[in-house]
Amino acid sequence: MADLDPLFFPKSIAVIGASNRPLTIGHRIVSNLLDNGFTGKVTPVNPKATPILDLESAPSILEVEGDVDLAHVIVKRSLVPRVLLDCAKKGVKVCIVNTSGFKEMGPEGVAAEQEIVAIAKEHGIRLFGPNCQGVMNTDPSVSLYSNFTFAEMTAGHISMVCQGGGVAEVINNYFGMNRVGQRMYASNGNACDISIPEILEYYGDDDDCHAIVLHVESFANPAEFLERVRPVAAKKPILALKSGTTPEGARAVSSHTGGLMAADTVTDVIFDKCGILRFRSLGELCEAAQAFATQPILRGNRLGMVTNAGSPAIIITDEAIGAGLRVPDLADASKDALREKLQAIASIANPIDMAATASGPEFSASLKTLVDDPNLDAAVICFMTPFFVDTLSIADAIVEQAQRTDKTLIAVAMTNPDGKPEWSETVERVRAAGVPVYYFPATAARVLYHMDRYRQLRDRPSAADSAPGSAASPEVRGDVEAARAILAQAKPGPDGFMDPAEVSALLAAYDIPFAPEGRGSTWSEVQATAAKVGYPVVLKAEAPTLIHKTEEGAVVLNLTDDATLKTAHSQLQDRLGDSHDLTFLVQKYQEKGLEVIIGGAAAQGLGSMIMFGLGGVHVELFKDVVFKLAPLTAPEAEELLDSITSAPLLAGYRGQPAIDRAALVNVVRKVSHLLADHPEIEELDCNPVMLFPAPTPPAVVDARIKLASR
């Protein structure tokens, strides 16, 4: 933690490249520091030592009086190394390099960036940036606005770190316009030294930070991210947006698993492993952050509503039900209480629909009832501001209940605050009590949905046991050394695919149940193998050049005796033998069970991912598959199976028996260990894997493995 204290809690700041010209960054940073009441000392530095904003300047960092914790570096790129050396001499602890023209500008910039990193390393200076905005910290002990932007900051409990400066500004302005209180802020541009994970770790240790907003476009070091950020996410909510399509989306894939990966599957698995709440919409992230900052996380998904306008509450109900929240009946005691206090025309139900004429006392009674109702975990107050109602009394009713409950409260004010001063004051009062206020009715339901997602993420069984290293359950570990030997000797084809016999051996090393099989070329070899495997059998022609066996008609199913097998063998030999160098796989014919696919793919810098989905063509059309980082703990494997839309098929569906789930959990965990132990496996398909009700064991019917080129 101490490392970043000089960045977020500096006592003395030098602005190297400060300027008197109002439209420059060097001017703006100084004025931002002053305007926002920085409690420490600010020293502008410029060659002429011109006074800036009435502050005395120093001609060089070396001539600044006293210690300097933090220096902004705004000089042109070629001067940065020199300035950093001076900073080192001066004992500056952290430099925010605002200057651009580094990594973002191609090879020459990369070299320049490497140079400044080397200088910083050698002299023990920490670098923030380059090509960056800066930091803020609303802690009253510093009141730090060390940034050249123009946002309003209200003190509060959300801390932010954003890779994109533009996105950061959108969030900052949203928070400013909606009076969302912020704690700390960082936008570190190229992040050549102080990284996003390091900043997140710092926020994690800051008791006044209750929720974190994160924007990333790429992971400089996925493994570092995972290791440092996971403990932070265990402590407090991290609401994250990842934007930009990653290179994974573009890479050529040759397996089913690869084809089923989305452009940012890697992001999903990283966030999933960390327990980070991913958002697909920046707007929804901002709206949800507003609630996470001030409201307790709901304890369940049961939502109550009170309104003075029926039709918008219907929209909230629609959205809530659609998002998996519940809108239960009120308790009988609640209904009794409401009948006493509300007008006869009020609808005593959930939502409680009072008349448009309802005022403070009715809102107060209704909201108190919702807050006290044991059937509910959260309450939404959805109101218009009719001209004939004292709407401030509605605000006061909300504030009153907010002070006495630890249930989640959300307000929807369908008003134009510009219409009447009373209306904007109504909104302000509710917000000041820590109850977020939204304009569109459905937003309340979306926000509660995201909070409920977080609750489930936080409380999932795997959150407890999936700490690094805890996954090494002996019953699903394979023979790592045997597998290593097979892989070392493997001679993959030109496209990287392993020989099928080697694949079988590799799966066997991890005790992954393969359909009984053997191989041969001549008829007598094939016949002998069939005798060993036992009829009925399947005959498959194999060759490194035969990738899609089914499509090329290289598979003959359900051969029941020597005669039919012999015919199949000679027909395949005749049809394919000329163009391919054939071996024949004789495999025990499996009854058709429930077909699933278990896949694997290398995840750059993170080991491997495992994939699970139902088999068949529908899987590809619906992309109903899910990925997780390998290896899997048992609860993670359970989550993997439960995450697909077609999961009900595993439990038995429309009269079918349930498959042996425990056996399936073991198989996916074994595959996950195979992947994790051997990151040279670039892609893996076990497809199909046939599942049966216990006690029939699962069986991998076909498997393909592609190795990374060495």
Segment near its own copies (CB under 8 A), from 50-58, 163-171, 428-436, 531-539?
Answer: 163-171
User: Rounded distance, CA 543 to CA 255, Å?
Assistant: 17
403 touches its own copies by CB under 8 A: no
For 179, list phi and psi in degrees, rounded to 5: 55, 45
Q: Pick from 44, 156, 237, 441: which binds its own copies (CB under 8 A)? A: 441
For 270, list phi and psi in degrees, rounded to 5: -65, -50
9 touches its own copies by CB under 8 A: no
Exposed (0-12), middle (13-18) or buried (19+): which is 88, by Cβ within 10 Å? middle
Select 347 or 571, whichever has its Cβ closest to its own copies: 347
User: Rounded distance, CA 549 to CA 398, Å?
Assistant: 67
Select 446 or 669, whichever has its Cβ closest to its own copies: 446
Q: Note whether 604 and 248 are within 8 A (CB).
A: yes
Among the listed residues 6, 1, 10, the one whose alpha carbon sits nearest the alpha carbon of residue 202: 1
Select 264 or 636, whichever has its Cβ closest to its own copies: 264
Q: Pick from 7, 13, 18, 25: which binds its own copies (CB under 8 A)? A: 25
User: Rounded distance, CA 673 to CA 603, Å?
Assistant: 14
Quickly list DSSP for 217-285. S--S-HHHHHHHHHHHHHHS-EEEEE-S--GGGGS---SHHHHH--TTHHHHHHHHHHT-EEES-HHHH
Segment near its own copies (CB under 8 A), from 312-320, 476-484, 562-570, 694-702?
Answer: 312-320
Distances (CA, A) of 462 to 355, 608, 644: 47, 18, 17
Select 23 or 488, whichever has its Cβ closest to its own copies: 23
Select 36 or 173, whichever has its Cβ closest to its own copies: 173
Q: Note whether 679 and 602 are within 8 A (CB).
A: yes
Q: Pick from 40, 81, 176, 577: which binds its own copies (CB under 8 A)? A: 176
Query: Binders of its own copies: how many residues, by CB under 8 A?
Result: 74
Site for its own copies in 33-62 (CB under 8 A): none
372 touches its own copies by CB under 8 A: no
Q: Pick from 34, 49, 117, 282: which binds its own copies (CB under 8 A)? A: 282
654 touches its own copies by CB under 8 A: yes
Q: What separation, in Å, do the N-terminal and C-terminal C-alpha atoms of the chain show?
A: 40
Please report which helix (H) or strand (E) contains residue 483, including its range.
Answer: helix 480-489
Select 287 or 677, whichever has its Cβ closest to its own copies: 287
131 touches its own copies by CB under 8 A: no
Q: Note whether 570 and 526 are within 8 A (CB).
A: no
Segment near its own copies (CB under 8 A), from 12-20, 56-64, 164-172, 533-541?
Answer: 164-172
Select 208 or 217, whichever has its Cβ closest to its own copies: 217
Select 77 or 273, whichever has its Cβ closest to its own copies: 77
621 touches its own copies by CB under 8 A: yes
Select 32 or 57, whichever has its Cβ closest to its own copies: 32
Q: Note whether 236 and 210 are within 8 A (CB).
A: yes
Q: Pick from 47, 419, 461, 534: which binds its own copies (CB under 8 A)? A: 419
CB of 266 to its own copies, least distance (A): 15
Quickly list DSSP for 345-383. TSB-SSSEE--TT--HHHHHHHHHHHHH-TT-SEEEEEE
Q: Pick from 3, 111, 622, 657: which binds its own copies (CB under 8 A)? A: 622
Q: Which residues have C-beta within 8 Å of that of residue 551, sequence separation ≥ 6?
A: none
Please report which helix (H) or strand (E) contains residue 423, including its range.
Answer: helix 421-432
421 touches its own copies by CB under 8 A: no
Q: Pick from 90, 110, 440, 519: which binds its own copies (CB under 8 A)? A: 440
CB of 521 to its own copies, least distance (A): 27
259 touches its own copies by CB under 8 A: no
CB of 358 to its own copies, least distance (A): 13
Q: Pick from 361, 456, 653, 697: which binds its own copies (CB under 8 A)? A: 653
260 touches its own copies by CB under 8 A: no
Q: Which residues have C-beta within 8 Å of that of residue 131, sequence separation ≥ 6?
A: 97, 98, 99, 100, 101, 102, 103, 104, 189, 190
Q: Pick from 224, 479, 624, 638: which binds its own copies (CB under 8 A)? A: 624
550 touches its own copies by CB under 8 A: yes
Q: Within 13 A of 625's CA, how many CA atoms are on the CB side? A: 31
Looking up tokens 């996950």 gives 672
Looking up tokens 């051997």 gives 678
Select 21 or 491, whichever has its Cβ closest to its own copies: 21
CA angle 498, 501, 503 (to 5 degrees): 50
CB of 503 to its own copies, least distance (A): 22
Select 524 or 550, whichever has its Cβ closest to its own copies: 550
Q: Note whether 543 and 499 are within 8 A (CB).
A: no
Q: Pick from 170, 223, 253, 399: which binds its own copies (CB under 8 A)? A: 170
655 touches its own copies by CB under 8 A: yes
Q: Are strands 134-137 and 144-146 parallel, antiparallel or unpaired?
A: antiparallel
Segment near its own copies (CB under 8 A), from 44-52, 221-229, 412-420, 467-475?
Answer: 412-420
Tokens of 360: 């403070």
Site for its own copies in 232-251 (CB under 8 A): 243-245
432 touches its own copies by CB under 8 A: no
Tokens of 66: 């006293």
428 touches its own copies by CB under 8 A: no
For residue 536, whether the previous peptide bond is cis, meaning omega lies within 30 degrees of 0, is yes
Site for its own copies in 94-113 (CB under 8 A): 105
Site for its own copies in 376-395 (CB under 8 A): 384-388
616 touches its own copies by CB under 8 A: yes
Segment near its own copies (CB under 8 A), from 86-94, 158-166, 298-306, 334-342?
Answer: 158-166
CA angle 628, 634, 639 (to 5 degrees): 50
261 touches its own copies by CB under 8 A: no
User: Rounded distance, CA 313 to CA 382, Å?
Assistant: 7
How far is C-alpha 430 from the geometric centre of its chain's CA atoms? 31
Order across the sheet with 12-16: list the strands: 41-45, 12-16, 70-73, 94-97, 126-128
Segment near its own copies (CB under 8 A), from 464-472, 523-531, 534-542, 645-653?
Answer: 645-653
CB of 318 to its own copies, least distance (A): 6
Query: Any idea what DSSP says for residue 74?
Result: -
Select 91 or 244, whichever has its Cβ closest to its own copies: 244
Q: How many CB atoms lie within 10 A of CB 628?
A: 23
Q: How many CB atoms lie within 10 A of CB 24?
A: 15
315 touches its own copies by CB under 8 A: yes
CB of 173 to its own copies, least distance (A): 4
Q: Note whether 132 and 154 are within 8 A (CB).
A: no
Q: Note whether 681 and 255 are within 8 A (CB).
A: no
Select 64 or 151, whichever has its Cβ closest to its own copies: 151
CB of 540 to its own copies, least distance (A): 16
332 touches its own copies by CB under 8 A: no
CB of 315 to its own copies, least distance (A): 5
Q: Pick from 28, 126, 431, 670: which binds its own copies (CB under 8 A)? A: 28
Segment near its own copies (CB under 8 A), from 117-125, 309-317, 562-570, 675-683?
Answer: 309-317
CB of 527 to its own copies, least distance (A): 29
324 touches its own copies by CB under 8 A: no
